[in-house]
A = this chain, B = another copy of it.
Amino acid sequence: MSAEEERAWRAYRRMYATLEAQLARELAATGLSMADYTVLSDLVELPDRDWLRRRQTPKQDLPKLRITELADYMGWSQSRLSHHLARMERRGLVRREKDPTDARSAVVVLTREGLRAITGATGTHMSGVRRHFLDLLTPRQLATLARIGETVVAHLEEEA
């Protein structure tokens, strides 16, 4: 590794660790872990996003999603998501239901309590991302970072 390479690699890793810890601390005040937050916000966003295409979840219902779909989207293993959902279910944040279209499948449903939790946490989290990250960087830096991330991910997904 050249000196420049080492500088970049170290800075990148240190940024991730420090930023992650800070965001987790702030989020903990709302009663959620980072993992909880990701699950809940993906659960809110994802069914809505392709609602027109899939016509599964009417707007007035609570968001629901097949567990595999959620795991794929999040890049989590089924096992990891299953364990995490079990814990969240105990806390009343989500509920599991059978998929009517495929008896092997299950869907996760956001509960009213889960909706309240994610609604309350979103402001805190977004503001943290903004203050500790977005607002510190120029549009050009953000664009470069996006490009870097997409390049690395594309390369890794190609290999697999």
Contact = CB atoms under 8 A, between A and B. Distances in A.
A8 B132 contact: no
A104 to B, nearest CB: 26
Interface in A107-160: 126, 129-130, 132-134, 136-137, 139, 141-153, 155-157, 159
A11 interface: yes
A15 B155 contact: no
B148 A14 contact: no
A8 B146 contact: yes
A25 B110 CA distance: 33
Given A143-B4, A156-B22, A149 B75 contact: no
B155 A147 contact: no
Interface residues of A, number: 44
Contacts of A145: 8, 11-12, 144-145, 148
A51 interface: no
Nearest to A133: B152
A156 B19 contact: yes
6 contacts: A8-B142, A11-B149, A14-B75, A18-B156, A22-B156, A137-B151
Interface of A: 1, 4-5, 7-19, 22, 75, 126, 129-130, 132-134, 136-137, 139, 141-153, 155-157, 159
